Amino acid sequence: MIRFLRYLSLISALALCSVAANAAPNTGNTAQSLLHALDYLAVDYPQVVINGEIIDAGEYAEQREFAAQAKALMSKLPPHPDQARMERSVQHLVDLIEHHAAGMEVQTLCRSLAASVIAAYQVDVAPHTAPSIKEGAALYAKNCAECHGMTGHGDGPRAAKLDPKPINFHDRNRQSQRNIYSLYSTISLGINDTPMRAFTELSASQRWALAFYVSNFFATDEERANGEILWQQPEHRSDFTDLGSLTQAIPAHYGNAGVDVLAYLRAHPEKIALGAPKPLDIARQKLNASLEAYKGGDTKGAYDLAVAAYLEGFELVETPLIAADADLKRTVETAMTQYRQAIKAGTTPVGEITQQAAAIRSLLDQVDSTLHGGNLSPAMSFTSSFIILLREGLEAILVLAAIITFLIKTERRDALIYVHVGWIAALLAGVVTWYAAKELIAFSSVSRELMEGYTALFAAAMLLYVGYWLHNHSHAQRWKSFIHGRIHDTISTGAVWGLVFISFVAVYREVAETVLFYETLWLQTAVSGHGYLMGGMLSAAFLLLGLAWLMFRLSVRLPLRLFFKANAALLTVLAVVFAGKGIAALQEAGKLRVDPVNFPELHILGIYPTLESLGVQLALVAATVAWLLYARSRDQH
């Protein structure tokens, strides 16, 4: 067992690292670099080539270099149904620049190509929360003022010695062509062969705060004051519905009133964040985008958007919906699954896909009504909070209790500290993963489900083996001498790390998702209901601790032989539960097909009405029964 635990721990750790690496793929960096190059071409080329004449040979050479870089970056992006068209567009861009085409033609093509890249690769072009302008001002004074000057005129103490000169952020012509996302990209990536370096030491939220602050040099206080007045009028709100529309807004594309509103929102992004889309709005948005992609022949893009409609939208309201109307939750989940499968087939008529999408929108409206438009009642907030922690924490508590009582029964209390380190590290790692996904790396909802799915399957494999091992030694003739002798020796040489790894995995797989669910629930709950939410969380925590204490008290009183059998049974059951949840997570991420069957759903037991999850669980049960029969036959001889 010792050698196997070490080996499986190593394999699992490597696999988890692989999943984490996939969760923050190079796709995001490559796409951002491509958008960065396209933005500079769109802004600078019209000033370099006018009426077919090169105004500055050095600047023109730089434009050609940016175009070549854009072409190279495009070829590095992952395959996509729309990639061939985008590659033709970027080649056309290179040809236009080579032939000194009109600046407006190049600029229009760059903007169109950038929009295609953002849509195709779902590039994250906005912060998750409204940035702090005050923080941005402090970061600017510390990192930028020395070159760009405190007032942003490009006249800082170092400016005279720099070549090229720092940008003057008050240059109205240039800045009217730049959006906040382009400023963010410049801060994140820097500009090659210039003093403008990449500020990688800053977190994503800090870079967004800095980009928002710099964007305010464009406008005057009078424009911002007028924009505040205009923002109160409904007709001026349609252009800026969320932070993404704000960060991609180019001032030159708006009239005077639109520029004033944009100037105000750049200084007060929290005003637009108050109207940030709720989970059900996100589900509707992704659903509509999925339908449009399918109509356009982009089956893969449509499928990815359909998956995102569930993971980024509907899944985040599942818990309160279970408390309010569990049947409606299952109906929506089934409808969205069938919609994904119909898209994935690639042969479903557009009319049928349109009907399914319309049915889902109708169901989402029912959900919205059931949840009172997204504002949960105090009772529902309490119940939802209670269910989240109880549901996500039960398996982890049972695994930890089993490991701790095992060490106590085998007289290895000295190893308990390692188990405690394991689960505490898992709590910290889960919170760090959640924070990194929000602020530092491109960690999509699909990546989150993949992490959860693979981790659950690893945990199932380890628990299943340990369960077999415990049952096997409960039948050994010299089990007591084995426990007091060899176990003590072998654990002291490192087997404890296998148990620590199990406790880490059991806790870690739950934490990040639990934090995400609570964050969403907090936003769905009115301020007056936050106390009820905290009450539900604390109630569930006390119940979990009570269950752990009860299991501990019962386990330590069991005869050692019976304890081994009971723990073996518990860990085997948990392995089956984890396996079901792992398969379900991979299905939600769109990595496994889904074949629904008529069977009740019991989330807490990892039982889902699909052929794949039930098939894996039945296979594990059958293998366990077969092994028990074999072990019994062996012991009788």
Name the burial class of residue 385, with classes exposed (0-12), middle (13-18) and buried (19+) by CB atoms within 10 angstroms of its CB: buried
Residues 340 and 293: beta-carbon distance below 8 Å: no
* Bridge partners, residue 219, by sequence: none
Model confidence pLDDT, tens digit, residues 315-343: 888 877 877 788 898 899 889 989 998 99
Q: Is the pLDDT of residue 438 over 70?
A: no
Mean pLDDT, range 425-437, rounded to an integer: 76
Mean pLDDT, range 363-370, rounded to an integer: 86
What are the DSSP calls for 575-627, one per residue? HHHHHHHHHHHHHHTTSS---B-S---BGGGTB-SBHHHHHHHHHHHHHHHHH
Mean pLDDT, range 364-392, rounded to an integer: 75
Mean pLDDT, range 166-194, rounded to an integer: 90
Least confident of 129-138, 409-418, 486-495, 548-557: 486-495
**Confidence at 126, pLDDT banded by 50, 70, 90:** confident
Average pLDDT of the chain is: 80
The amino acid present at 268, given as its one-letter code, is H
pLDDT of residue 590: 74
Tokens representing 467 are 């369960």
* Residue 393: closest CA among 496, 515, 482: 515
Helix (H) or strand (E) holding 338: helix 318-345
pLDDT of residue 17: 43
* Bridge partners, residue 610, by sequence: 596
pLDDT of residue 342: 92
Percent share of the chain, pLDDT over 70: 80
What end-to-end distance do the CA atoms of the chain give, in Å? 24
Q: Is the pLDDT of residue 24 over 50?
A: no
Model confidence pLDDT, tens digit, residues 501-516: 777 877 877 776 677 6
The DSSP letter of residue 413 is: G
pLDDT of residue 106: 93
**Confidence at 45, pLDDT banded by 50, 70, 90:** very high
Widest Cα–Cα separation across the chain: 96
Tokens representing 498 are 């296998």
Residues 568 and 468: beta-carbon distance below 8 Å: yes
Q: Is the pLDDT of residue 520 over 80?
A: no
pLDDT of residue 282: 83
**Confidence at 580, pLDDT banded by 50, 70, 90:** confident
Tokens representing 613 are 């999850």
Mean pLDDT, range 407-432, rounded to an integer: 79
List of residues 6+ apart from 346 with CB closer than 8 A: 299
Residue with tokens 């340990």: 466
Residue with tokens 């062996």: 634
Q: Is the pLDDT of residue 8 over 80?
A: no
pLDDT of residue 360: 93
pLDDT of residue 298: 84
**Confidence at 417, pLDDT banded by 50, 70, 90:** confident
Mean pLDDT, range 112-135, rounded to an integer: 86
Question: Around Cβ 630, how many Cβ atoms within 10 Å?
Answer: 10
Let me know how long the chain is. Answer: 637
* Residue 419: closest CA among 491, 468, 510: 491
Q: Is the pLDDT of residue 560 over 60?
A: no
Q: Whole-angstrom Cα distance, residue 404 to residue 415?
A: 9
Residues 354 and 291: beta-carbon distance below 8 Å: yes
pLDDT of residue 16: 42
* Residue 27: closest CA among 68, 79, 65: 79
Least confident of 139-143, 177-181, 214-218, 425-429: 425-429
pLDDT of residue 96: 94
| Winning range, highest mean pLDDT, from 380-384, 591-595, 613-617 | 613-617
Q: What is the distance, to the nearest Å, from the Cα of residue 505 to the centroid of all Cα atoms in its chain?
A: 19
pLDDT of residue 493: 45
Q: Is the pLDDT of residue 241 over 70?
A: yes
Q: Whole-angstrom Cα distance, residue 312 to residue 317?
A: 10
Cis ω before 609 (30° cut-off from 0): no
Q: Whole-angstrom Cα distance, residue 561 to residue 575?
A: 21
* Bridge partners, residue 54, by sequence: 49
Question: Around Cβ 218, how many Cβ atoms within 10 Å?
Answer: 21
pLDDT of residue 532: 82
Cα–Cα distances (Å) from 557 to 39, 365, 477, 553, 569, in that order, read: 70, 54, 22, 7, 17
**Confidence at 70, pLDDT banded by 50, 70, 90:** very high
Mean pLDDT, range 172-184, rounded to an integer: 91
pLDDT of residue 13: 41
Least confident of 323-327, 457-461, 477-481: 477-481
**Which is it for the CA torsion 550, 323, 290, 131, positive or negative?**
negative
pLDDT of residue 169: 93
Q: Whole-angstrom Cα distance, residue 605 to residue 126?
A: 38
**Confidence at 60, pLDDT banded by 50, 70, 90:** very high
Name the burial class of residue 75, with classes exposed (0-12), middle (13-18) and buried (19+) by CB atoms within 10 angstroms of its CB: exposed
